[in-house]
Amino acid sequence: MPAPIRLRELIRTIRTARTQAEEREMIQKECAAIRSSFREEDNTYRCRNVAKLLYMHMLGYPAHFGQLECLKLIASQKFTDKRIGYLGAMLLLDERQDVHLLMTNCIKNDLNHSTQYVQGLALCTLGCMGSSEMCRDLAGEVEKLLKTSNSYLRKKAALCAVHVIRKVPELMEMFLPATKNLLSEKNHGVLHTSVVLLTEMCERSPDMLSHFRKNEKLVPQLVRILKNLIMSGYSPEHDVSGISDPFLQVRILRLLRILGKGDDDSSEAMNDILAQVATNTETSKNVGNAILYETVLTIMDIKSESGLRVLAINILGRFLLNNDKNIRYVALTSLLKTVQTDHNAVQRHRSTIVDCLKDLDVSIKRRAMELSFALVNGNNIRGMMKELLYFLDSCDPDFKADCASGIFLAAEKYAPSKRWHIDTIMRVLTTAGSYVRDDSVPNLIQLITNSVEMHAYTVQRLYKALLDDISQQPLVQVASWCIGEYGDLLVSGQCEEEEPIQVSEDEVLDVLEGLLVSNLSTPVTRGYSLTAIMKLSTRFSSLNRIKKVVSIYGSSIDVELQQRAVEYNALFKKYDHMRSALLERMPIMEKTATNGPAEIVQTNGETDSTILDTKHLPNITQPASQANDLLDLLGGNDVVPVIQTTVPTKPASAGGELLDLLGDLSLTGGPTPTPAPSVPMSQPPFLLDGLTSQPLFNDIAAVIPPMTAYNKNGLKIEFTFERSNPNPNIAVITIHATNSTEAEMTEFVFQAAVPKTFQLQLLSPSSNVVPALNQGSVTQVIRVLNPQKQQLRMRIKLTYTHKGSPVQDLAEVNNFPPQSWQ
């Protein structure tokens, strides 16, 4: 068998392929050759073959058949083999693979190898992708290496320890002794990785944090090291653009942040050095600014004195003026985080921030917009709004929706006058009318209704806007609603705020009918205008024309329009006595939800969830109508579908449509809006679901039988099940622990673990004493998330004190009923 081709030869060959198919063919051929070579257990060329395999893997081709070969390479004595073997392991053998654990022994041996570079390979592999089991097995070796005097190994061991702690947090304490004199090292590599290790420990465990603060006096040590770095002269080995080891400086600053957060003493101890770094760092290059940035973040997070905070904000302000986009971006992001706490300081930079709205970079514009909204207040509302409206005019379509929502919110909070408010809304609707969110329409309508004295002005302006342009649906919808409501004011020319226009009833009806027939109008808009026309029947005198329009649409193809028209027709014919009452002026509406200033910042994409979602309603009617169809087929007259998903309280009267319209407006005062649907919409609608009584899933829960999970030594633990309604992947298990012995069980603690694919949450137990002789029970709720619908298995650990002696037991629970996890 000829020697397999070299790696670089293969790379060259594959690169000559002109088509994907040609490449695939070459790769398949080579893979076949490699596979047969593997089968022959060829030691000499294994390394070459695995290297080639890794190259092909990078191109996107499967390489799983090389996994075991990597293991063989790692076990080899040759360094070249190990190097490629470990590389292959890191690329192909992550912890999800079955053979991953087989590496453990090899790594263990290599951790004790005589050559430090082999030890390094092993540490690196373990530290990049070791699984929890592996970390558990090898933590002792890592800890040993953490104490070595060899700085090459020590630094790697430190980062490896970080990984071990991330995977198995309980092992953190075993590394504590080894950290004692890490910071007295001279070697920067060791210093850097030690700081990372200490950071990880402090972040994970509040106990560690206070231990390092108080017992180890970490802050003074770090301050000393940082000071040396800044004051020391040029060090060629660590210099970056005139700054000594910026990587280390930044890590120290971050650790100081964690140590100083919420702690007065520590914060005080670091005030000086922070001020020193903030004022002395060279800012001509990115690296200096990176350090300044980290310093600012630290200052803002700890309990720094106000002078220091102002210094930090001023640094950010300077950043805003920097030519470098990255720095401007970073400044805006940080200012956004600090605007809540240091509002006044940030306000001083408002004009710079507003200028950033005109930046070319999209990310910067977005940040500037968010920050601008956060800075709007009663004093600057007029000026800010001018800028923001200008921005709205010229910005990308992606921004328009968020910007419009933000403007609405800001206007609502800080409007200096009602007229200004209405004008602002008009401006938004006319410039970005097609981008405003659907929920703005009901909000605006409510706003307009409540500004009673502005009705005439509003309807006039909206009418004029309609004359110009009927393409922007939200604008058209609001306008037609208003004309329907206040058409009489429009025609009578009562406007005080501006010159009243002369318009006749016919002209108004022309416009509304124009909306009905226009291709630009969506079905929703048509609905609005038809209703508006109907309302005008009590406000205008040209009844015949309105009657004609309404009856024409009684045979419209659009079912929604048809239904409305038919019902309105009925209003004219059979229920004419009720008509004027039904079509009266709307009362003042109460708002359901208000968004506070804090939420302006998170406005982007979030407004939908806070306001009672009108979108739910149209979605929900769909399965209802399907269920109705099913009913028809069954011919069941006596089955009353208890579908709580239809539009709420639809009285079987002709006035239904108007109440429907009220329902669309998400109000509290009128009919109760539908609560979050108890039939989850994310599942394909099972037609029959809507027919059973609510709540649906509790019925299923009643079917899941309880089970005994554990019964030993007088302690019995039963599980009862429920399914959590909003998320069918969560099973809610309640444990009931009872004690049939004569003595009570105290300090009872129940713990549970589940396989990797599950997630578990334990709520607090009812008590930790299980009374004797079954006189009571301890209950505790477990929530298990099972997205992959795998068979539920659990391991439980029980500890308690019984008759004075501690008892501990482990058990597997495998007898879960299938309904609990399917």
Partner 1 sequence: MRSFSLHTVGKGSDDSGLDQPGSEYKFFGYQYSFRISYFKMMHFLLLFSRQGKLRLQKWFLPLPERERKKIVKDMTTMVLARKPRTCNFLHWKDLKVVYKRYASLYFCCALEDQDNELMALETLHRYVELLDKYFGNVCELDIIFNFEKAYFILDEFLMGGEIQETSKQSVARSIEASDMLQETMEEYMSKPAF
111-150: contacts with partner 1 (CB under 8 A):
115, 117, 120, 123-124, 127-129, 131-133
Range 268-297, binding partner 1 (CB under 8 A): 286-287, 289-290, 293-294, 297
Where b means 16+ CB within 10 Å and e means fewer, 194-231 reads: bbbbbbbbbeebeebbeebbeebebbebbbebbeebbe
Task: Give the containing element (helix H, strand E) for 344.
Answer: helix 343-347
Task: In angstroms, give the least distance from the CB of 243 to partner 1.
Answer: 10
Contact between 500 and partner 1 per CB under 8 A: no
Q: Are the beta carbons of 287 and 324 closer than 8 angstroms?
A: no
608, two tokens = 């939908």
Task: In angstroms, give the least distance from the CB of 539 to partner 1.
Answer: 51
Please provide the distance, in angstroms rounded to a whole number, between the alpha carbons at the two ends of the chain: 54
Contact code string over 358-397 relative to partner 1, x by CB under 8 A: --xxxxx---------------------------------
Tally of CA atoms within 13 A in the half-sphere of 818 that contains its CB = 0
Contact code string over 37-56 relative to partner 1, x by CB under 8 A: ----------xx--x--xx-
Contact code string over 416-445 relative to partner 1, x by CB under 8 A: ------------------------------
Contact between 174 and partner 1 per CB under 8 A: no
Contact between 599 and partner 1 per CB under 8 A: no
Range 1-30, binding partner 1 (CB under 8 A): 6-8, 11-12, 15
Determine how many CB atoms are found less than 10 A away from the CB of residue 359. 17
Which of 749, 774, 775, 822 lies at the binding interface for partner 1 (CB under 8 A)?
749
Task: In angstroms, give the least distance from the CB of 23 to partner 1.
Answer: 11
User: Can you tell me which residue has the tokens 């009562």?
Assistant: 494
Task: In angstroms, give the least distance from the CB of 366 to partner 1.
Answer: 9
What interhelical angle do 397-414 and 381-394 show, nearest 10?
160
Range 772-791, binding partner 1 (CB under 8 A): 785
* Cα–Cα nearest to 255, from 315, 314, 193, 312: 193
Q: Are the beta carbons of 464 and 503 closer than 8 angstroms?
A: no
Contact between 761 and partner 1 per CB under 8 A: yes
Task: In angstroms, give the least distance from the CB of 759 to partner 1.
Answer: 5
Nearer to partner 1, 192 or 535 (CB): 192
Range 299-328, binding partner 1 (CB under 8 A): 325-328
Task: In angstroms, give the least distance from the CB of 159 to partner 1.
Answer: 4
Which of 61, 247, 575, 686 lies at the binding interface for partner 1 (CB under 8 A)?
247
In angstroms, the CA 103 to CA 126 distance is: 10
699, two tokens = 């019925």
C-alpha to C-alpha distances, 228 to 47, 246, 274, 672, 759, nearest whole angstrom = 47, 13, 13, 68, 47
Which of 245, 402, 485, 657 lies at the binding interface for partner 1 (CB under 8 A)?
245
* Cα–Cα nearest to 130, from 154, 155, 106: 106
* Cα–Cα nearest to 677, from 615, 609, 593, 616: 616
732, two tokens = 């809610």
Sign of dihedral through CA atoms 334, 336, 338, 342?
Answer: positive
User: Can you tell me which residue has the tokens 């673990």?
Assistant: 753
Contact between 756 and partner 1 per CB under 8 A: yes
547, two tokens = 């009657």
**For the purposes of burial, counting CB atoms within 10 Å of the CB of 15, is it exposed (0-12), middle (13-18) or buried (19 or more)?**
exposed
Contact between 801 and partner 1 per CB under 8 A: no
Contact between 552 and partner 1 per CB under 8 A: no
Task: In angstroms, give the least distance from the CB of 346 to partner 1.
Answer: 20
**Secondary structure (H, E, C), 213-234:** HHCCCHHHHHHHHHHHHHHCCC
Contact code string over 329-358 relative to partner 1, x by CB under 8 A: xx----------------------------
Nearer to partner 1, 656 or 765 (CB): 765
Q: Are the beta carbons of 420 and 391 closer than 8 angstroms?
A: no
Contact between 723 and partner 1 per CB under 8 A: no
Sign of dihedral through CA atoms 468, 469, 474, 478?
Answer: positive
Range 62-101, binding partner 1 (CB under 8 A): 78-80, 83-84, 87, 90-91, 94-96
Range 225-244, binding partner 1 (CB under 8 A): 237-238, 240
Nearer to partner 1, 294 or 657 (CB): 294
Contact between 171 and partner 1 per CB under 8 A: no
Q: Are the beta carbons of 90 and 125 closer than 8 angstroms?
A: yes
Contact code string over 660-699 relative to partner 1, x by CB under 8 A: ----------------------------------------
Amino acid letter for position 333: T
Contact between 60 and partner 1 per CB under 8 A: yes
Q: Are strands 759-762 and 778-785 parallel, antiparallel or unpaired?
A: antiparallel
Contact between 213 and partner 1 per CB under 8 A: no
User: Can you tell me which residue has the tokens 């290496």?
Assistant: 145
Helices and strands (H, E) in the chain, number of each type: 36, 10
Task: In angstroms, give the least distance from the CB of 131 to partner 1.
Answer: 8
Task: In angstroms, give the least distance from the CB of 747 to partner 1.
Answer: 8
In angstroms, the CA 483 to CA 528 distance is: 10
Q: How many residues bind partner 1 (CB under 8 A)?
A: 105
Range 601-620, binding partner 1 (CB under 8 A): none
Task: In angstroms, give the least distance from the CB of 237 to partner 1.
Answer: 5
